[in-house]
Amino acid sequence: MDVRVKAEIGRVMKIGELAQRTGVSVRALRYYDEQGLLRPQRTPGGYREFDPRDVVLVARIQTLISAGLNTDLIAEVLHCFSDGGAGETPSPTCAEMVAELSAARDRMLGRIEQLEESCRLLAAIIDAAPQPA
Distances (CA, A) of 120 to 15, 67, 114, 125, 131: 42, 22, 10, 9, 18
Q: Is residue 109 part of a domain?
A: yes
Is the pLDDT score of 92 beyond 80? no
Residue 43 domain boundaries: 3-128
What CATH number does residue 66 fall under? 1.10.1660.10
Which range among 70-79, 87-96, 100-109 shows the weakest confidence by mean pLDDT? 87-96
Residue 50 in 3-state DSSP? strand
The count of structural domains within the chain is 1
Q: What percent of the chain has pLDDT over 90?
A: 61
Residue 10 is assigned to a structural domain of this protein: yes
- The yes-or-no verdict on residue 95 having pLDDT over 90 is no
The overall average pLDDT reported for the chain is 87
**pLDDT level of residue 7 (50, 70, 90 thresholds):** very low
Of 61, 67, 50, 107, the closest CA to residue 86 belongs to 61
Please report whether residue 133 resides in a domain.
no
Between 45 and 91, the more confident residue is 45
